[in-house]
Structure 1
Amino acid sequence: MDLNQYLSMFLDEANDHLQALNEHMMELENQPEDVSIVQVIFRSAHTLKGMSATMGFEDLASLTHEMENVLDLVRNNQLAMDGFIFDTLFKSLDALEGMVSDIANGGDGKADVSAIVKSLQSIVSGDHKKQEQVAAIEAEVVTEQNTDERLDEFQRSIIEQSVEAGMTAAYINITLREDCVLKAARAYMVFQALGEMGEVVKTSPPAHDIEQEKFDKGFSIFYVTTESEEQVRKAVANVSEVEQVELQVLTLEVLKDWNARIEEVQAGKSEVAATAATAGTATAEGTDATAKQAAKATDGQAAKNAGAAAQAKPSQNRTIRVDIERLDVLMNLISEMLIDRVRLEEIASEVKKSELTETVEHLVRVSGDLQSIVLKLRMVPIDVVFNRFPRMVRDLAKTLDKKVDFVISGADTELDRTVIDEIGDPLVHLLRNSLDHGVESIAERRATGKPETGTVQLRAYQSGNHVFIEIEDDGKGINRDIVLNKAIKNNVVTPEKAATMTDEQVYQLLFASGFSTAEVVSDISGRGVGLDVVKSKISALGGHVVVNSKLGQGTTFVVQLPLTLSILSAMLFRLGDEKYAIPLTSIVETGLVQRENIRRVHGGIRMIDYRDSVIPLLSLSALFECPSYSDFDEEEVEIIIIRKGDRIAALAVDDFIGQNEIVLKPLGNYLKSVPGVSGATILGDGQVALIVDPNALLK
C-alpha cells in the first residue's frame, strides 16, 4: 500500500498531537498530582505511536513507546512526577518535533535519541538519578573518544620539517562560549584567521565533523606558521564567542613522545568508559524487569479500557482539512468575481432595465454571502500562534531563573491566515522582551515589595475591523529619561525635540534601529532588541504598535492589526483624472476646509485646526506628482482625516467618488520608490486605482 498519499494527513495530525502534548505537559507541571491530565497525555502519545508505526517511522514510534512506559507508571500511581521526569519528557517532545519537521522537509524522520531513551528507561527503573550521573560520564567519554589527538607519520613529519625550517609549530586548544549558537560558523572563522598566517596540519575532531557541529564546545588544531606564538594566540582570541585559547609550542623534543602521552591519557579514559558501560548495563537490566512488572500490573486496566471503548459511540467528525493553496485559489476567484460584480452594477445603472437590475441585485446579495463565507474560511483562531508560547515562556523563565505566571486570554479571536502566518515572530520578540527585561529577578522583586512571581499577560480581542493583541508585564517599566538620553546620544532625536516629546513618543523611540545594540540592552533594559524588526513587520501587515508604561509598575505593548488583507472597504477619490482608494479603517472622517483657514508654518507646512488641535494638511497631488484641479486653489478643499495611533493628519483630494469594496493586488517591484502606496485595485470600469497606505504617510 502506498502511504505517500497519507503523508500530508499524518503530518497535520502529528503536529496537532505534539501541540496537545506540549499544552497538557505544561498543565501537568502546574498540577503534578492530577492523574486525569496524565491520561490525556498518554492517549495522545499512544495515538502518535500508532500513526508513526503505521507510516513506517520507527524512530518516532520507538521514542513515543518509551514515553508511554513512563506515563503508564504515572497514571497508575506507581511513579510520582519530578523535575527530572518533566525535563526528560519535554526533551522527548522536542526530539519528536524535530523528527516530524524532518519528515515534512522530505527526510526519513530518523534521529539519534539514545540519550533520551536511556533517561526514559532509567525513570521506569526508578534509578534515574544514578543514570543521570552515568549519562554525564558517558557523554564526557564519548566526546573524548571522538577526539583523536594522535599524529600519524605523515602529519608528524610535516610538523618536524617545519620546526627544523625555523617555523612555529603549535597545538592550539580552543573553547567556545557556552551560549554560542553557531559553533560551526565560529570554527570556520578561526580556520579563516589561521589560514591567512599559516597552515592547519590536523584538527581534532576531524574538519568534516566540526563543519557539521559534531563537537561539544571545544576543538583542537595542529598548526604551523612563520608568525610568532603571540600573534597566533591573538588572531584566534579576536574571533567572537571564543572563550579560551590554550597554545602549546611543539618542539622536536615534545613531538618525540607526543603519541605515547596521548595513548596514556586515552587508556585512563577507557577505564572510565568501562565503568560507565557496566553501570548502564545494570540499569538496562533493571529497566527490563521493571517494565515487565509494570506491564503485568496494567493488563487488567487495559482490558477495562478496551471494554469501555467498545461501548462508546463514535462521534461524527464535522470538520475537514483543506489544503491552503485551494483556499488561496478560491479567494482569488472571489476577488475576480467581485470586480465583475461592480462592473455589472455600473452597467445595470446605465441601461436601467428592471430585469437586469433585479438580476444584478440578486447576484450582489449572493456574491456578498459567498464572499463572507470565503473570508470566514480564511479566518483562523489566533490560538494557533498563542499555543506555542506557554512552552517558550516556561523554558525562558527557567533559563533566566525567574518565576513567571503566564496568562493567555482571547485565544479564540480570529484573524486572516495571511496575518496569522506573519504575526508569530513579532510576538516572540515582544514576549522575550517582557520576560527578559520587563519582569525583574526574584531578588529585585523582593527588594521592591513585589511578589516573587511576575505576571505576563497575552490578550487578544476584536474591535470593529481590527484585532488587538496586548502583551502586559508587571515588571520594572520603561525609564523615560534613560530612553531619551540614549536617543540623543545615538542622534535619533535632538535635545530640543526631546524636551517636547510626550511619553508615547518617547516609547516609540524604542522601535528605532539605532537602539538595537548590546549597549542599549544593558542601559535601557534591552527594550531595543529586535523592536525595529517588530515595528516594520507589523507596519507591513497594515497595523501599528503602541507602548504604555509606568515606571516600576510594568509595560504594555498593544498591537493593532486588520482582520484581513485581501478584500478591503475603501473610500474612492480623485486627484485630477486619476482615481485612488484609501482603506476605511484608517479614516476618521471626511470634510471640507475653507482656504482661508489653511495656515502655513515654518518650512512651508500647511496646518489646519481640528478638534481643539492643529494637524498637518498633506497634498497627495504633490506627493504622487500628479496633476490636480484644485491643489488649494478653490475656496473649499475636500479633505480626508486619517489616524495611526496618536498621529493624525489631513489629506487634500479633488473629489470623492464613494465607498466600495476593493480587492488588494500587490504591485511587486513597481512603484517601490513612491512612498505611501500599498498596492492597487481594478475598479468596475476596468481602471486601475492605486491604494494609499496611511501608515507610510504618517511616519
Structure 2
Amino acid sequence: MEMNEYLDVFIEESKEHIQALNSNLLELEKDPKNMDTVNEIFRSAHTLKGMSATMGYQDLADLTHKMENVLDAARNDKLDLDSTIIDIVFEAVDHMESMVFDIIDGGNGKKDVSELVAQLKAIEEGEPIQELKSNGDNLASTESTNTEAQMIPLSSLDEFEITVLQQSLEKQFNNFHISIKLDEGCLLKAARVYMVFEVLEQMGEVIKSEPTVAELEEEKFENDFAVILITQDDQDTVKQKIMKVSEVSEVLVSAFEMNAAAETSQMEESAQSSENKSAPVSKSEEAKKQNTSKTGQLTSKTIRVNIDRLDALMNLFEELVIDRGRLEQIAGTMKDAALQETVEHMTRISGDLQNIILNMRMVPIDQVFNRFPRMVRQLAKDLNKKIDLTIHGAETELDRTVIDEIGDPLVHLIRNGLDHGIETPEERVAKGKPEKGTLTLNAYHSGNHVFIEISDDGAGINKEKVIKKAISNGVIEEDQVATMNDSQINQLILASGFSTADQISDISGRGVGLDVVKNTIESLGGSIKIESEYGKGSLFSVQLPLTLSIISVLLVEVGKEKYAIPLSSIIETAIINNKDIMNAHNKQVIDFRGKVVPLINLKEIFEVPGEQEDDTFHSIVIIRQGEKMAGLIVDSFIGQNEIVLKSLGNYLTDVFAISGATILGDGQVALIVDTNALIK
C-alpha cells in the first residue's frame, strides 16, 4: 500500500494526539485517581499506536504500546499512578514528539528508546518504585555522561537567542562557544562554576549554558560544561581570565558559527510551518473535536483544508472588494436606480462572504496556549521553582497569520517571567509570599483588537537598576530621567541596548531578546505595554489586530492626495477654529476634553505639494496609542471605507509613518497612515 498519500494525515493527527496526551497528563498529575483522564490518555495512546504500526514506524509503535500497557494496568486497578510513573510517561511522550518531528523533517522516525521501553515494562510488571527511581537516575547519569563534553547543539537555541547572536555580530561583538573543564578532584564544583560565571558576566553576556544553570548549581554534571558568550574581548583574553579561576584545568574558546544556527532555525521554522497547515477553522469545529475525543466517535461534519487554499481565496476576495468599491462609485455617479439596487445587493452579499472567509481564517489562540502548560511544568522543575499556571480566554480567536507569528514572542515573555520574575520558594517565603508563584495568561477581544496579558506575582522590575543600565548603555541620557514616568521606565527594557550589553545586575534576562519581541509584535501592527510593581510582580500586555488583510479606515484628503487612517486608532473627528489652536514648547496644541493634545499637520509630514492655506477652520482626526493622543490636521474627510491592505514591497520598507497602500474604487492609490509612528 502506498503510504505517502496518508503521511500528511498521519502527521497532523499524531500531533493532535500528542498534544492531547500532554494536556491530559498535566490534569492527571493533579488528580492521579481520575480514571476518566486515564481513559482519555489510553485512547490517544491506543490510536497513535495503531496509526504508527500501519505507517511502518515501529519504534514509535513499540514505545506507544508499552505506555498503553501501563495506562491499561492503571485503569484496571492493577497499578497506582504516582509522580515518578507520570514523569516516565511524560518522558515517553517527549520521545514520541521528537520521532514525529523527525518524520516531518523527512526522517524515518527511528530512535533508541530501549531504556525507556524497559522502564515502562518494569512498571507494568509491578517492579518496586524505588528500583525504578534508581534505574531512572542511572539513565539520567548515563545521558549526562554522554552529553556533558559535547558542544552546545544548535538545535537547542530558540529563534530569539539566534536573533540576539545575529544582532551582536552586527554591533561588532564577538560570539564565542566556550568549553570549560574542572579538575578531576574538584570538590566544590558549584562554587567553581559560580566563580567562572562571575568572570564571564564581567566580560559580557552568557546566552546559553549546557547543562542548564540550575543543573550546574546542583552539581548535576561531571567536570565539563559549555556556554555561549557575547563579549567585546578577544579569544585569548577570554581564555586567560577564565583560567585564573582555581581548579579550572582546560578552557577551549572558539567562534560560534551563525550560518549553521541560521540553517537550524530555518529547519525549525519549516517544521512549525508544516504544523500550522491544518489549523481549525472555527470555534464550533473546535468544540466538535472535543466532543469527538470524549465519545470516541465522529459527531461532526468537518474537512481539513490546506491553508494555502484559504490564502488564495482571501486574495481573490481582496480583488473583489476593490471592484465592489469601483461599482459603488459608478452607481453613485450614474444615478441609475436598477444599477444602484443591484450594487447594494451585491455589497450585502459580499459583506457576508467577507465575514465567512475571515471566520474561516480565525484560529483559537488555544493553538498557541496549549503548549505552555507542559513548558511551564518543565521549566519549573529545571529552575527548582513552584509555579501555578492559570489560563483564561484560550477560546479567543485571531487571524491565522497573526497566530503563526505570535507564538515565539509569547514563549520568550513566559520564559522571562519564570526565570527572572518569579522567585524561588525560599525567597518567596522570606518575603511573606506563598511559596508557589502564579503565572497568568489572559486573552480577550476589545474592539478590533485582541489583548494577551502575561502577569506574574514575582519580584517585579527594579526601576533604579533599569535606569542605571539604560544610562550606561546609552539608551537614555541622565537628564531625561526626571521627566520619565514609571511606564516609560518599564519600556526601557524593550530597548535593543539591553540585549548585548555587559551584565552587571540582576535584571539580566529581563532585557535579553525583548527588543526582538517588541519588533515582532509591532511588525504585526500591535504594541506591548509593561506594568510592574517592585517586589509584587509584572504585567506584559500585548495588543494585536484581529486580522491583517482587510481593515476599516477613514479616508481623508490632504492637498490632492488621499490617505487612509485605521479606524481602530481614531477616537473621533472634529472641526476646530483657528483661534482654538495654542502653542506650547514650539508645538501647536489644542485643548481636547481637558487634555492637551499636540497637532500634526499631515501636509507638512508627508510633504504634499501645494501651498499651505491659512484657513479659519481645520478638519482634525484625533488618534490614540496607549495613553498618548495626537490630532492630525487634514484638508477634508471623505468617509469610512473597508480597504485591502497591500504591502509597499521590498524597495519601500523605510517610508516614515506609512504602513502600506490600497487601491480605491476609482483606481487611485491611497497610502495607509501608520498612526503609531506619528505619535512616537
Query: How far is 1:47 from its partner?
Result: 0.4
Q: Could you list the per-position Cα deviations for residues 447-498 of structure 1 after superposition, in whole angstroms to 9, with x for gaps in the alignment? A: 1211111111111111111111111212222233332233233232233321
User: Which residue does 2:111 correspond to in 1?
Assistant: 111
User: Which residue does 1:644 correspond to in 2?
Assistant: 625
Is 1:6 matched up with 2:26? no
Alpha-carbon distance in 2 for matches of 1:617, 1:75: 70
Could you tell me whether the CA contact under 8 Å between 1:438 and 1:525 is conserved in 2?
no
Alpha-carbon distance in 2 for matches of 1:30, 1:50: 29
Alpha-carbon distance in 2 for matches of 1:101, 1:390: 20
Q: Could you list the per-position Cα deviations for residues 528-572 of structure 1 after superposition, in whole angstroms to 9, with x for gaps in the alignment? A: 232211211111111112222223322211111111111000011
Flag the 1:72–1:590 CA change in 2: closer, same or farther, 3 A.
same
Q: Secondary structure at the match of 2:596?
A: strand
Is 1:480 matched up with 2:463? yes
Which structure carries more relative contact order (alpha carbon 8 Å, separation 6+)? 2
Query: What is the identity, as a one-letter code, of the residue corresponding to 2:568?
Result: T
Query: What is the identity, as a one-letter code, of the residue corresponding to 2:566?
Result: P
User: Which residue does 1:264 correspond to in 2?
Assistant: none
Query: How far is 1:233 from its partner?
Result: 9.6
Q: How does 1:243-322 map to 2 (within 5 A)?
A: 246=249, 314-322=297-305
Is 1:492 matched up with 2:493? no
Given candidates 598, 609, 613, the residue that maps to 2:595 is 613
Could you tell me whether the CA contact under 8 Å between 2:318 and 2:644 is conserved in 1?
yes
Q: Could you list the per-position Cα deviations for residues 312-366 of structure 1 after superposition, in whole angstroms to 9, with x for gaps in the alignment? A: 9954322221110011011111111111011011111111111111111110111
Q: Secondary structure at the match of 2:557?
A: strand
Could you tell me whether the CA contact under 8 Å between 1:237 and 1:245 is conserved in 2?
no
Flag the 1:670–1:593 CA change in 2: closer, same or farther, 3 A.
farther
Alpha-carbon distance in 2 for matches of 1:653, 1:143: 67
User: Which residue does 2:672 correspond to in 1?
Assistant: 691
Could you tell me whether the CA contact under 8 Å between 1:461 and 1:467 is conserved in 2?
yes
Could you tell me whether the CA contact under 8 Å between 2:454 and 2:541 is conserved in 1?
yes
Query: How far is 1:114 from its partner?
Result: 2.5
Given candidates 646, 662, 670, the residue that maps to 2:651 is 670
Could you tell me whether the CA contact under 8 Å between 1:681 and 1:689 is conserved in 2?
yes
Is 1:623 matched up with 2:605? yes
CA RMSD of aligned residues (A): 3.4
Could you tell me whether the CA contact under 8 Å between 1:178 and 1:217 is conserved in 2?
no
Query: What is the identity, as a one-letter code, of the residue corresponding to 2:615?
Result: E
User: Which residue does 1:417 correspond to in 2?
Assistant: 400
Alpha-carbon distance in 1 for matches of 2:673, 2:374: 40
Alpha-carbon distance in 1 for matches of 2:103, 2:573: 55
User: Which residue does 1:334 correspond to in 2?
Assistant: 317
Q: Could you list the per-position Cα deviations for residues 597-638 of structure 1 after superposition, in whole angstroms to 9, with x for gaps in the alignment? A: 334444x4333332222232223233222224546x322222
Higher-Rg structure is 1
Query: How far is 1:401 from its partner?
Result: 1.1
Query: How far is 1:115 from its partner?
Result: 2.8
Query: What is the identity, as a one-letter code, of the residue corresponding to 2:587?
Result: I
Alpha-carbon distance in 1 for matches of 2:422, 2:481: 27
Q: Secondary structure at the match of 1:659?
A: strand
Alpha-carbon distance in 1 for matches of 2:139, 2:406: 43
Alpha-carbon distance in 2 for matches of 1:59, 1:698: 58
417-426 or 622-631, larger mean C-alpha shift:
622-631
Query: How far is 1:596 from its partner?
Result: 3.6
Aligned length: 573
Flag the 1:134–1:397 CA change in 2: closer, same or farther, 3 A.
closer
User: Which residue does 1:251 correspond to in 2?
Assistant: none
Query: How far is 1:424 from its partner?
Result: 0.9
Flag the 1:238–1:682 CA change in 2: closer, same or farther, 3 A.
farther
Query: How far is 1:376 from its partner?
Result: 0.6
Could you tell me whether the CA contact under 8 Å between 2:84 and 2:133 is conserved in 1?
no
Q: Which runs of 4+ in 1 moved over 6 A?
A: 138-144, 173-180, 185-188, 216-220, 231-235, 237-240
User: Which residue does 2:182 correspond to in 1?
Assistant: none
Q: Secondary structure at the match of 1:593?
A: strand
Flag the 1:244–1:101 CA change in 2: closer, same or farther, 3 A.
farther
Alpha-carbon distance in 1 for matches of 2:418, 2:611: 55
Q: If the length of structure 2 is used for normalisation, what is the TM-score?
A: 0.77
Flag the 1:389–1:521 CA change in 2: closer, same or farther, 3 A.
farther
Q: Could you list the per-position Cα deviations for residues 368-415 of structure 1 after superposition, in whole angstroms to 9, with x for gaps in the alignment? A: 100111011111111011101001111111111111111111111111
User: Which residue does 1:659 correspond to in 2?
Assistant: 640
Alpha-carbon distance in 2 for matches of 1:689, 1:47: 54
Query: How far is 1:418 from its partner?
Result: 0.8
Q: Could you list the per-position Cα deviations for residues 36-76 of structure 1 after superposition, in whole angstroms to 9, with x for gaps in the alignment? A: 21111011000011111111222211111111122122222
Flag the 1:516–1:189 CA change in 2: closer, same or farther, 3 A.
closer
User: Which residue does 1:29 correspond to in 2?
Assistant: 29
94-103 or 358-367, larger mean C-alpha shift:
94-103
Q: Secondary structure at the match of 1:564?
A: coil
Query: What is the identity, as a one-letter code, of the residue corresponding to 1:643?
Result: R
49-58 or 485-494, larger mean C-alpha shift:
485-494
User: Which residue does 1:39 correspond to in 2?
Assistant: 39
**Structure 1: runs of 5+ lacking an equivalent:** 148-172, 192-212, 221-230, 249-308
Q: Secondary structure at the match of 1:471?
A: strand
**Structure 2: runs of 5+ lacking an equivalent:** 158-164, 166-173, 180-209, 211-220, 226-233, 252-291
Query: How far is 1:684 from its partner?
Result: 0.6
Q: Could you list the per-position Cα deviations for residues 619-660 of structure 1 after superposition, in whole angstroms to 9, with x for gaps in the alignment? A: 3233222224546x3222222111111111122222211110
Question: Percent identity between the aligned chains?
Answer: 54
User: Which residue does 2:287 correspond to in 1?
Assistant: none
Could you tell me whether the CA contact under 8 Å between 1:17 and 1:44 is conserved in 2?
yes
680-689 or 514-523, larger mean C-alpha shift:
514-523
Alpha-carbon distance in 2 for matches of 1:70, 1:385: 30
User: Which residue does 1:564 correspond to in 2?
Assistant: 547
Could you tell me whether the CA contact under 8 Å between 1:175 and 1:217 is conserved in 2?
no
User: Which residue does 1:268 correspond to in 2?
Assistant: none
Flag the 1:187–1:64 CA change in 2: closer, same or farther, 3 A.
farther
Flag the 1:244–1:364 CA change in 2: closer, same or farther, 3 A.
farther
Query: How far is 1:525 from its partner?
Result: 6.3
Alpha-carbon distance in 2 for matches of 1:368, 1:470: 32
User: Which residue does 1:407 correspond to in 2?
Assistant: 390
Query: How far is 1:86 from its partner?
Result: 2.0
User: Which residue does 2:15 correspond to in 1?
Assistant: 15
3-12 or 378-387, larger mean C-alpha shift:
3-12
Alpha-carbon distance in 1 for matches of 2:155, 2:56: 36
Query: How far is 1:671 from its partner?
Result: 2.1
Q: Secondary structure at the match of 2:539?
A: strand
User: Which residue does 1:395 correspond to in 2?
Assistant: 378
Q: Secondary structure at the match of 2:563?
A: strand
Is 1:542 matched up with 2:525? yes
330-339 or 87-96, larger mean C-alpha shift:
87-96
User: Which residue does 1:450 correspond to in 2?
Assistant: 433
Query: What is the identity, as a one-letter code, of the residue corresponding to 1:4?
Result: N
Alpha-carbon distance in 2 for matches of 1:122, 1:590: 73
Is 1:74 matched up with 2:57? no
Alpha-carbon distance in 2 for matches of 1:487, 1:23: 41
